[in-house]
Amino acid sequence: MKNAENVKIGIVGAGSWGTAIAGMLGEKGYKLDLWAWEPEVRASITEKRENDLFLPGVRLSENIRVSNDLDSVTGGKDLVVFVVPTHVMREMAGRAAQSLAADTVLVSAAKGIENKTHLTMTGVLAEVLPEHKDRVAVVSGPSFAAEVARGLPTVVAAAAPDPEVAAFLQQVFSTPFFRVYTNTDVMGVQLGGAVKNVIAIASGIVDGLELGLNSRAALITRGLTEIRRLGLKLGANPHTFAGLSGVGDLVLTCTGTLSRNHTVGKMIGQGKSLDEILSSMSMVAEGVRTARSVYNLSNKINVEMPIAHSVYQVLYESLKPDEAVYQLMTRTLKSELEDVE
């Protein structure tokens, strides 16, 4: 594994999170290439050293070179970080295939599950780029981009099947304000990061309906049970869900005012339609698409996830939010620890 001090880095995706990662690594001293689709983002970063569209008010390091040439961003790099919406991950990985070096480490910093295949994002990367499957990893945890960009203390997990790859990422990403723990449970880390977005929509609905703090605490707790239940079925380590990418990210996204998924849910609880909400947002709320993936996947493998299913029904089957709450509260009574071991 290459020394972390001399790493050539490419970042694919200049939304808020991709820009925050680029800014952090640039400030650490890495010279890196950042791929941006939007011409206004490229112009803003080049001319003002700021991403006006997705991360306004944050000055970006001169070490960042922004481009729309994917080959130049990903070619010859030791590390390529994919920070694109999950529904375009497959396309972007395929486009990068011809330029990637044989030993490039690939990292997903996106949180979601692909609709058609029900693959996690590292699963998509490994399927599209099978020659890199042993060097595919994920960085995830409670990390709002705006706070990372401001240098506020943040702690995440870097997970890879090879402990050496995870340790390499730990060295690259760690700074005095961005602490990284290693993990080998790639599936668990990703499921925590993906499904929490669905639960966060539910939490937002609770807040939009003004159901109180008791309701939100209960929903977060039972939402974690559902995430763990799905993870166990898919071979994840149950301890992962008590960690940063599990309860940590879940609590942040279900309670933080910077959460796009919580915002979507809150507006639904206040009576707005999904189409109306999404048309007003410039950034992607991944939980909207992931709700469909989780619903179909859990049905396929027979995992009970009533909260996630209710979110799907509210989003896609016109179930009224107050009816969803009643439906959840009047389910068959059972033991709290049923099906969680």
Q: Of how many residues is the chain composed?
A: 341
State the Cα–Cα distance between residues 299 and 303, nearest whole angstrom: 6
Neighbours of 68 (CB within 10 A): 14
Q: Report whether 119 contacts 187 (CB < 8 A).
A: no
Q: Report whether 80 contacts 7 (CB < 8 A).
A: no
State the Cα–Cα distance between residues 73 and 93, nearest whole angstrom: 12
Neighbours of 164 (CB within 10 A): 11
CA distances (Å), origin 300, targets 5, 94, 121: 45, 27, 19
- From 77, 111, 196, 266, the catalytic residue: 196
Walk across the sheet containing 178-183 and list its strands: 64-67, 32-35, 9-12, 79-82, 105-108, 136-140, 154-159, 178-183
* Greatest Cα-to-Cα distance within the chain, rounded to the nearest angstrom: 60
SS3 at position 32: strand
Q: Check if 196 is active-site.
A: yes
SS3 at position 270: coil
User: What are the tokens at 90?
Assistant: 């497959």
State the Cα–Cα distance between residues 142 and 189, nearest whole angstrom: 11
Please report, in angstroms and rounded to a whole number, the separation of the first and last CA atoms in the chain.
37
State the Cα–Cα distance between residues 193 and 186, nearest whole angstrom: 11
User: What are the tokens at 61?
Assistant: 């390091």
Which residues are designated catalytic?
A: 196
